[in-house]
Structure 1
Amino acid sequence: VSSTLQSVGPNATLVEGGLAEMIRDLKARLAGEIAVSGPDLARNLTDLGLIDEYRLYIHPVVLGHGKPFFAGPRPPLRLVASDLIGEEAIRLTYVPA
């Protein structure tokens, strides 16, 4: 998702119009998961009530600084699963409460 791109390469679609309408259309047409990464897009979709599940991966690596995933008020969430990924990472799965 971009607000500045004029064209995209193969295996991508340039979508014009509102974010909410685009995601609602994708959810209605496609089976399976729609993966989202990046705190800005995730925050917008959270504010629109369009995220069904959050998967947070914890890996003990120091990366420096960056944007917090929940920059504003954190939505009410309920932990539904925790899974060991390999030997060094954990996936926490939350759904909106």
Structure 2
Amino acid sequence: MGEFQQELLFSSDALLLGRVTYDRFAAAWPGMKDETGFAARMNGMPKYVASHALQAAEWNAESIAGDVATAVARRKQEPGQNLLIYGSGQLVEYLRQHGLIDEYRLMVFPVVLGSGKRLFADAPTNFTLKSSHTTSAGVLVLTYQPANA
């Protein structure tokens, strides 16, 4: 899993987060250190936070309020703007509805919980499997693209 997360983070130019995920990450990551460079990369890269309620953006972050879809579409057109979203389920669903997600990387853990939030809203979504692999811990990593991409 570590190698996968490392590749994911280092192949991205900026993080795009919802406010709740941003609040949790900003509370934990600035004090983290490691020998792989992951924490330095996480702390140093630009972050865009989709939020109407964020009072002050810190941790190398900029708040995106107002028309988030237009702001994200504009950022995606800029050179060097490979955006990575961690968590932020409401933001992912909103961007999916606006056709702004280019790729989904889903990690399926060998655990059955029985209930939880739906990954996608009730609207049908078709995907094309781009790649899959299993980590040494038995986690299945699936990479999908929207079928219309």
- Shorter-normalised TM range: 0.7 to 0.9
Distance 1:10 1:44 in 2: 24
User: Residue 96 and residue 38 in structure 1: after superposition, are their counterparts in 2 closer, same or farther (change >3 A)?
Assistant: same
| Aligned amino acid, residue 141 of structure 2 | R
Task: Quote how far apart the aligned CAs of 1:41 are.
Answer: 0.9
1:29-44 maps to which residues of 2 (within 5 A)? Answer: 29-31=78-80, 33-36=82-85, 37-44=87-94
Task: Quote how far apart the aligned CAs of 1:17 are.
Answer: 2.6
Distance 1:9 1:61 in 2: 35
Name 1:7's counterpart in structure 2.
56
CA contact (8 A) 1:39 1:67 kept: no
TM-score, normalised with respect to structure 1:
0.83
1:17-32 maps to which residues of 2 (within 5 A)? Answer: 17-31=66-80
Name 2:146's counterpart in structure 1.
96
Q: Secondary structure at the match of 1:73?
A: coil
User: Residue 12 and residue 91 in structure 1: after superposition, are their counterparts in 2 closer, same or farther (change >3 A)?
Assistant: same
| Aligned amino acid, residue 44 of structure 1 | Y
1:5-84 maps to which residues of 2 (within 5 A)? Answer: 5-31=54-80, 33-36=82-85, 37-62=87-112, 65-84=115-134
The structure carrying a bigger helix percent of its residues is 2
Gaps of 5+ in 2: 1-49
Identity between Structure 1 and Structure 2 (%) = 35
Q: Runs ≥4 in structure 1, deviation > 3 angstroms?
A: 61-66
Distance 1:57 1:25 in 2: 28
Gaps of 5+ in 1: none
Aligned length: 97
